[in-house]
Every structure is written in C-alpha cells, then in structure tokens.
C-alpha cells in the first residue's frame, strides 16, 4: 500500500476510533519444564528392563467405578504390571489399596498414576470455571485451583484433567461452562493461573497435582455448537485465537495435554501430528504427557480415518499420543504393529518415557501412597469453605439493577424465595463437581435463612422444576410473591443443561420458566432475578422488564451463602462477563473482538452489515457488569506515544469509587491496530486489572503493553509485529467508550 494512502486511511480510522467503541496484553513469563538428568537416567535403566507388555501397560488408562472405587480387574492388571493409570479411582483408602498391589506385587514395582476430573474443586466446590472467570481475579483463580489440588492429592489423586482452556464463542455448546469464555487474552491469563494453582512449581509436593491442558484443539469451535462435532478453520485462526491459552499452560509448566474429540480440518485431534509433533513438541518444546480423551482412539474408526482397531492405535501413537484412555487398542495391538513394522519400538519407548518421567516428577517412586489422616483434615475444611464463599461472591455479575432494587433491605419482613433452583442442593455445585457432595452445598433458600435468622419470615415455593413443563405450582408461587414484601426469583438451567453432551439450540430460560417470571412481575411487588446457568442465555424479556438480575452461574458449595451476602448487601458484586450474551441464537457466533466489515452498520443504509429483525449488538457485551457503587476513570496517561517493536508502553489511569459502598471494578484495556497487512479486530483486550476500592477512594492503575504482544499471524502463518498507529481504549466493559488515546509502533 502506498504510504500516503496508508496515512490517510490511518487518519480516517483514528477519527472513527474516537467516536466508536474500541481496545490489552500483559503476558506472564514462561517457565520451561526442566529436564532432570537424574530422572532421565532412571527412566533409561527402567526401560531397559521392561518387557513390551509392561511398556504397553504404562500406555493404558482405565476407568474406575462410578463411586471412585477401582474395579476388581485393575488389581490383576496392576499385579502383572499391565496397567499404568486409572481415572476416577479416588480416596486415600481406595487408591492406596490399588497402589499397594502395583508397588509391592508387580515385577518392576512401577507406581500407578491416579487421574480425576478436578475441574472446579475436589470436595469443596468453587464456581464453575466460566463463573470463576467472571471474577477476572487471577490470584483468586490460582488459589481455588491450589485448594482443589490440596484436597485431591490428599485423597490419592495425582493428576487432574484440568484446566479446560478451550476458547468458546458459541453458547449453544454446553461445555462453555468449563472454560474461561470467549477471549484469548483473558483465557490465556486464566489458563496460566489455573495451571500454577494446581501444580505450583513442583508437583511432587503433597499439596499439588499435575494439570492437564485440554482439549487440544479447537474443541470449543464445534460446528453449530453441537458437542463432538467437527471444526473447520484456518490455521491462522487456530494459532491466533485457539492456541494461545494452551501455550500459556506450557509457559506455566503444564505436565500434560489431552486430545479433543473433534477433527480439525478433517484430521481428528487424536491422530493429528500437526498438533502433537509440530506444535507441542517442535514449536513449544514441551515434553508434556499426552493423553487421549475418553475412548478417542476407538473413535478414530468412526471418524473414518482408521480401518480397524490396530490402525486406530497406529495412527494415534504415530501422531504423538502417549496414553490411551479407556479403549484398549494400543494395548491389544501394539505387539502386532511392531511386528508388522507399522510402529517402531522407539515410538513406544518414547511414550513410555513420557509416562515414567511424570511418575518420577510426581515423586511416586518415593511416596506412592496417600495419607488418610491428611485427607480427613483437608476435605471441606473451614478455611476451604470460607474461600469458596469468597470466590463465589467474586464470580457474580450484576446484569441489571434499576432504582437500586438490590441490595434488599435487611429490615424486609417477609421474603419469598421462588424457583426450584433456589432450593435444590444438587444444582449448587454445578457440573463436573469432582467429589463434591450434594449434602455439603448451601442452597439459596438456606443462605437467605442463615442471613436473616428470625428477623424475617422466609417462605419458599418452587413453581416448577428446572425443565419447567408442568405449571401446576405457579399459582402457589405467585400467591407467595403477592403476599410477601420482596421476592427472590431464581431461574435458569439445571446443571446437566450446561455440560458435556448438552448442546442447546434454544438458549432461553428452559421450559415455561419465563411465564413464571412474567406472572411474578405482574404482581407489581418488588423482586430480583437470580440466574443460575453455565452458558450465556437469551434473556431479553428479563433484561427489558425485570428490575434486577444477578448472574450467579453455579457457584459451588457456598453458593447460597454467597448469594445471600450479595443480595443483602454484605458483599458487592464486581464480576464482569467473560463471554457475550446474545439476543438470539441467530446472532451466533457473536463475540466482541470481531473483524471490521467493508460495510459497517448504518441505520439508514440497507446495504450495510445488519439483520432485518435484530440489532447487531449483543444483549450484554463481554466485560460487562454493574456494581452497587459507581466508578469513574480519569487521567489516562501513556508513558510515550511511540514504541519500537521490542519496546513497551505503560498506560496509567485513575479509578475512583464515586458511590457510597466499597466495591471492585475491572479496568480493561483494549487496542486496535488501525491499518495492517490483514484486517485486525475492532478491539482486543490486551490488559486488565481488578481494583478493590473503598467508597470515595481513588487509585492510579498502571498496565504495561508490550509491542511484541500486539502482533498477529500473517497470511502465511508467521507471527509478525507490524509498525503503524494503534488506538487504545481504557474502560469498564468492551462496549465502553472509555478513555482513548493512540500510540505507534515504529520501525
């Protein structure tokens, strides 16, 4: 492009930028996995003594019983050195019994590795990951993972299948609940924090577990939001949007990776050498252990890339996977594949090395057993519960609060708690609730009663269950609302609706719940909506009509207490959406960091990018969330206006709590690359900071942006940092006009 034209276009975009919304980055330092030569020596010595059957045994992972018990078959396999690991076997007693057989009765005494999905807590449950991500509080996210690790390790679990770091831009996909939402920058920061929380810097400790970055890759981009469906996208998008959170886990020293169920551009992840050899090993230099997802080797036949069982095993091993979860093709056909020269012994040995290395790094050869006394002291202890309450509070997002409907005055005499979800323990913990027990959870109803004691009458009516097909309980619920001074109306999804294999084409309130809301609304009595859900919902009617909406996701063991703290003003909600809430399914995919179009929206011009029947804008944008207090940003300062391609820029802004209550605000920094060799997003989060301010307090916040984090993948998939003008917006939501300035990266 001619320089003069580039200047004109840049000028034009800068003008537009000051009239349009636009947006940061601060990447944490990588911490490479250290190769310990001592361990490598031990591995070689052990490998030299292993028979092929024992090697294949190390590459096999089998499932336990649903209640955490091992299967009788496991004992026999362990005794013969034919089983390297299990998933779901847990509890000090169970894991020790099985471990004892492996360590004391097998020929080579190789300890077993016990894995489990510790996604948002082991016994003490924290908010589901999407909810926790709404806190934008990295220290808190790291700590909840640490507590989860502490509990899990005490119960004999060495390895968690978390964090799930799949970027998800499609709320129809039920597993959006398990990740950090739609944004690559936020998602990468959270991925790093979660790995650090689980593993620390040394996962041999008795309070840490090995983490697993899953599901590599692009599982969250399943076509049509339908779980397990195929994904198809450019390698550029993979590298720019979907890979960085995985790279962040490598930087945090993650011990393992899991394959995804989907195929990517036609190649199933479990048979995909591009992912495992080129990206993970060659480019990222990671020696993380690679496990397949559940029966994913078997599924290679259904994907239509493997002829038979042996072929599936061959494809997976040659693509670079180490452990086969649940299906047994590698085990069954490994020997034959070697004999037929379809697989080399070096490939098997390499996979076995990766397994043994982790077992040494976890310290299992020295300390194979869990300590039952420690387990007793750890699970659900008072400190963990307290932290669960704090982290739940931080996850709540206040979506609407007209005329200060919230907080509810504690002097209110008669409170109606309406909605099935408010009284159902099972729904507090959320999906993938580890070893969390229903009976441990505090419901909304219990939380409100705990809060108010005898000072108010608190009555409950379910109205209908979460599926809400039967409306026979509506009259009772409406009467209760009419007879009370204030109604807490809890609506949303059942935990099984936002989960694996739980895609939805309609993401509104399930069944006839909206009718119940409308009827309560018609009573004219004050009420607030408490939402429970694991995905964005299309709640347009509520957004327009209900006086107050508090998004609480599935908040874990202390959900009810945390919700009551927030509803009655002992806590002030400060969460921000980590994902866009669309107005309708028809808008999907809708995410804040979209590219510009050549025909941007103009109300008066038909031939611009828009819908005939809906605004382009979302119902609630990424980064959005209110508070019981108000905040003002001022005094935006840049350390300089020009930086080199290796330089950095310090951005500072004053944040003031201008209301009457203490509260938290998340300062968000977005950038826009005006003119580049490729079209760049209208705004991209490149930095943020959560600040807690007392009423009236003012503080300066400083965020650093590095030029090298402002690059992108070129059309030929090279990471490039280009010179030119950038716009910068500091605000409190992705749609916030905020404070603006520009800077340039110079040659």
For residues 314 and 296, what is the distance between their CA atoms, to the nearest angstrom? Answer: 13
Nearer Cβ to ligand BGC (182/293): 293
299 lines the binding site for ligand BGC (CB under 6 A):
no
**Structure-block tokens of residue 233:** 């996208």
List, in sequence order, the alpha helices (H) in 441-510: 444-452, 474-483
Site for ligand BGC (CB under 6 A): how many residues? 7
375 lines the binding site for ligand BGC (CB under 6 A):
no
Q: How far is the CB of 270 from ligand BGC (least distance, A)?
A: 12
Q: How far is the CB of 219 from ligand BGC (least distance, A)?
A: 8
Please answer whether residues 710 and 696 qualify as being in contact, where contact means their C-beta atoms are separated by less than 8 angstroms: no
Identify the CA nearest to 494 among candidates 509, 474, 512. Answer: 509
For residues 437 and 67, what is the distance between their CA atoms, to the nearest angstrom? Answer: 12
Q: How far is the CB of 305 from ligand BGC (least distance, A)?
A: 19
Length of the chain equals: 747
Q: How far is the CB of 241 from ligand BGC (least distance, A)?
A: 20
Q: How far is the CB of 119 from ligand BGC (least distance, A)?
A: 8
Nearer Cβ to ligand BGC (554/743): 554
Q: Which of 161, 257, 284, 486 binds ligand BGC (CB under 6 A)?
A: 161
Please answer whether residues 90 and 76 qualify as being in contact, where contact means their C-beta atoms are separated by less than 8 angstroms: no
For residues 174 and 154, what is the distance between their CA atoms, to the nearest angstrom? Answer: 31
198 lines the binding site for ligand BGC (CB under 6 A):
no
Nearer Cβ to ligand BGC (327/733): 327
Chain centroid to CA 371: how far? Answer: 31
b/e code 209-236 from CB counts within 10 Å (16+ = b): bbbbbbbbbbbbbbeebbbbbbbeeeeb
Alpha-carbon Rg of the chain, whole angstroms?
26
For residues 78 and 73, what is the distance between their CA atoms, to the nearest angstrom? Answer: 9
For residues 674 and 729, what is the distance between their CA atoms, to the nearest angstrom? Answer: 13
293 lines the binding site for ligand BGC (CB under 6 A):
yes
Q: How far is the CB of 178 from ligand BGC (least distance, A)?
A: 7
What 3-state DSSP class applies to 740?
strand
For residues 241 and 622, what is the distance between their CA atoms, to the nearest angstrom? Answer: 16
Would you call 455 exposed, middle or buried from its count of C-beta atoms within 10 A (0-12, 13-18, 19+)? Answer: exposed
Nearer Cβ to ligand BGC (87/319): 87
191 lines the binding site for ligand BGC (CB under 6 A):
no
CA atoms within 13 A on the CB side of 205: 13
Q: How far is the CB of 441 from ligand BGC (least distance, A)?
A: 22
Please answer whether residues 364 and 59 qualify as being in contact, where contact means their C-beta atoms are separated by less than 8 angstroms: no
Q: How far is the CB of 214 from ligand BGC (least distance, A)?
A: 6
294 lines the binding site for ligand BGC (CB under 6 A):
yes
What 3-state DSSP class applies to 85?
strand
Q: Is the peptide bond before 407 cis (omega within 30 degrees of 0)?
A: yes
Q: How far is the CB of 581 from ligand BGC (least distance, A)?
A: 25
Identify the CA nearest to 362 among candidates 200, 216, 246, 247. Answer: 200
Catalytic residue among 137, 183, 293, 673: 293
Identify the CA nearest to 78 among candidates 112, 49, 29. Answer: 112
Q: How far is the CB of 456 from ligand BGC (least distance, A)?
A: 43
For residues 508 and 270, what is the distance between their CA atoms, to the nearest angstrom? Answer: 34
Q: Which of 97, 117, 132, 142 binds ligand BGC (CB under 6 A)?
A: 117
Q: Which residues, listed in sequence order, are joined to residue 698 by a DSSP beta bridge?
A: 656
For residues 637 and 643, what is the distance between their CA atoms, to the nearest angstrom? Answer: 15
For residues 137 and 132, what is the distance between their CA atoms, to the nearest angstrom? Answer: 8
Q: How far is the CB of 251 from ligand BGC (least distance, A)?
A: 22
Residues numbered 214 to 273 that lie near ligand BGC (CB under 6 A) are 214
Nearer Cβ to ligand BGC (67/344): 67
**Structure-block tokens of residue 702:** 């400083």
Q: How far is the CB of 345 from ligand BGC (least distance, A)?
A: 29
Q: Is the peptide bond before 215 cis (omega within 30 degrees of 0)?
A: yes
For residues 278 and 309, what is the distance between their CA atoms, to the nearest angstrom? Answer: 25
496 lines the binding site for ligand BGC (CB under 6 A):
no
Could you confirm whether 293 is annotated as catalytic?
Answer: yes
Q: Where are the beta strands (DSSP E) in 37-163?
A: 60-63, 85-87, 113-116, 159-160
Report how far apart, in Å, the C-alpha atoms of 99 and of each of 110, 114, 241, 327, 361 are: 9, 9, 41, 22, 17
For residues 294 and 217, what is the distance between their CA atoms, to the nearest angstrom? Answer: 15
Q: Taking CB positions, which residue lies at the least distance from ligand BGC?
A: 161
Nearer Cβ to ligand BGC (106/199): 199
Q: Is the peptide bond before 163 cis (omega within 30 degrees of 0)?
A: yes
Nearer Cβ to ligand BGC (161/360): 161
Identify the CA nearest to 419 among candidates 386, 387, 451, 443. Answer: 443
Q: Which residues, listed in sequence order, are joined to residue 654 by a DSSP beta bridge?
A: 634, 700
Q: Is the peptide bond before 589 cis (omega within 30 degrees of 0)?
A: yes
Nearer Cβ to ligand BGC (124/260): 260
Would you call 439 exposed, middle or buried from its count of C-beta atoms within 10 A (0-12, 13-18, 19+)? Answer: exposed
- Whose tokens are 């807590």? That residue is 121
What 3-state DSSP class applies to 372?
helix
500 lines the binding site for ligand BGC (CB under 6 A):
yes
Residues numbered 126 to 145 that lie near ligand BGC (CB under 6 A) are none
Please answer whether residues 477 and 463 qualify as being in contact, where contact means their C-beta atoms are separated by less than 8 angstroms: yes
Q: Which of 13, 24, 50, 87 binds ligand BGC (CB under 6 A)?
A: 87
Nearer Cβ to ligand BGC (294/743): 294
182 lines the binding site for ligand BGC (CB under 6 A):
no
Please answer whether residues 384 and 504 qualify as being in contact, where contact means their C-beta atoms are separated by less than 8 angstroms: no
Q: How far is the CB of 161 from ligand BGC (least distance, A)?
A: 3
324 lines the binding site for ligand BGC (CB under 6 A):
no
Residues annotated catalytic, as ranges: 293
The residues that touch ligand BGC, with contacts defined as CB under 6 A, are 87, 117, 161, 214, 293-294, 500
């Amino acid at each position: 492009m001619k320089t003069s034209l580039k200047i004109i276009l840049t000028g034009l975009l800068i003008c537009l930028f000051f009239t349009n919304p636009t947006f940061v980055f601060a990447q944490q330092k990588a911490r490479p996995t250290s190769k310990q030569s001592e361990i490598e020596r031990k591995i070689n010595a052990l490998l030299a003594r292993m028979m092929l059957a024992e090697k294949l045994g190390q590459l096999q992972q089998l499932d336990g019983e649903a209640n955490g018990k091992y299967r009788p078959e496991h004992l026999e396999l362990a005794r013969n050195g034919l089983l390297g690991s299990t998933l779901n076997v847990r509890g000090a007693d169970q894991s020790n019994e099985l471990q004892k057989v492996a360590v004391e009765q097998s020929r080579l005494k190789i300890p077993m590795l016990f894995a489990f999905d510790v996604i948002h807590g082991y016994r003490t449950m924290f908010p589901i990951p999407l909810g926790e991500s709404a806190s934008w509080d990295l220290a808190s996210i790291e700590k909840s993972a640490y507590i989860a690790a502490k509990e899990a390790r005490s119960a004999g679990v060495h390895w968690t299948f978390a964090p799930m770091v799949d970027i998800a831009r499609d709320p129809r996909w039920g597993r959006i609940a398990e990740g950090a939402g739609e944004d690559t920058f936020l998602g990468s920061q959270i991925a790093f924090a979660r790995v650090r929380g689980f593993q620390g810097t040394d996962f041999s400790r008795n309070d840490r577990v090995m983490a697993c970055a899953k599901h590599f890759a692009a599982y969250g981009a399943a076509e049509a939001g339908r779980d397990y469906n195929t994904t198809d996208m450019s390698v550029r998008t993979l590298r720019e949007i979907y890979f960085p959170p995985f790279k962040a886990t490598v930087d945090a020293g993650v011990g393992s990776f899991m394959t995804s169920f989907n195929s990517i551009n036609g190649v199933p992840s479990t048979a995909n050498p591009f992912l495992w050899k080129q990206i993970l090993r060659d480019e990222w230099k990671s020696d993380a252990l690679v496990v397949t997802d559940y029966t994913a080797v078997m599924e290679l036949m259904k994907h239509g890339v493997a002829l038979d069982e042996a072929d599936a095993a061959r494809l997976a091993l040659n693509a670079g996977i180490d452990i086969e979860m649940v299906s047994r093709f590698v085990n069954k056909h490994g020997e034959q594949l070697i004999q037929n020269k379809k697989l080399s012994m070096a490939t098997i040995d390499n996979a076995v090395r990766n397994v043994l290395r982790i077992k040494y790094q976890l310290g299992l050869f020295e300390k194979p057993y869990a300590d039952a006394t420690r387990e007793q002291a750890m699970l659900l202890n008072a400190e963990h519960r307290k932290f669960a309450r704090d982290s739940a509070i931080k996850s709540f997002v206040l979506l609407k609060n007209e005329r200060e409907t919230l907080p509810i005055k504690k002097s209110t005499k008669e409170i109606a708690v309406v909605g099935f979800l408010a009284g159902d323990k099972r729904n507090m913990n959320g999906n993938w609730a580890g070893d969390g027990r229903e009976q441990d959870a505090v419901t909304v109803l219990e939380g409100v009663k705990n809060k108010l004691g005898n000072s108010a009458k608190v009555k409950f009516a379910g109205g209908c269950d979460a599926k809400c097909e039967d409306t026979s309980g509506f009259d009772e619920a409406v009467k209760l609302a009419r007879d009370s001074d204030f109604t807490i109306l809890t609506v949303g999804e059942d935990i099984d609706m936002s989960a694996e294999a739980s895609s939805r084409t309609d993401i509104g309130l399930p069944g006839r719940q909206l009718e119940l809301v409308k009827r309560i609304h018609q009573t004219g009595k004050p009420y607030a909506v408490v939402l429970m859900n694991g995905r964005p919902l299309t709640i347009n009617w509520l957004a327009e009509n209900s006086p107050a909406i508090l998004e609480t996701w599935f908040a874990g063991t202390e959900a009810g207490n945390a919700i009551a703290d927030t509803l009655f003003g002992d806590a002030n909600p400060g969460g921000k959406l980590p994902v866009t809430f669309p107005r309708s399914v028809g808008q999907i995919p809708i995410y804040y960091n979209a590219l510009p179009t050549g025909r941007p929206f103009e109300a008066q011009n038909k031939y611009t990018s828009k819908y005939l029947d809906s605004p382009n804008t979302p119902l609630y944008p990424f980064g959005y969330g209110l508070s019981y207090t108000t905040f003002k940003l001022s005094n935006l300062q840049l350390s300089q206006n020009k930086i080199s391609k290796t330089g950095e820029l310090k951005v500072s802004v004053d944040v003031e709590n201008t209301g009457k209550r203490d509260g938290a605000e998340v300062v968000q920094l977005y950038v826009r690359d005006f003119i580049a060799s490729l079209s760049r997003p209208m705004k991209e989060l490149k930095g943020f900071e959560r600040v807690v301010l007392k009423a009236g307090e003012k503080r300066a916040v400083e965020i650093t942006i590095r030029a090298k984090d402002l690059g992108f993948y070129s059309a030929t998939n090279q990471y490039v940092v280009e010179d030119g003008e950038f716009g910068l917006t500091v605000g409190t939501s992705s749609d916030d006009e905020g404070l603006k300035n520009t800077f340039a990266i110079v040659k």
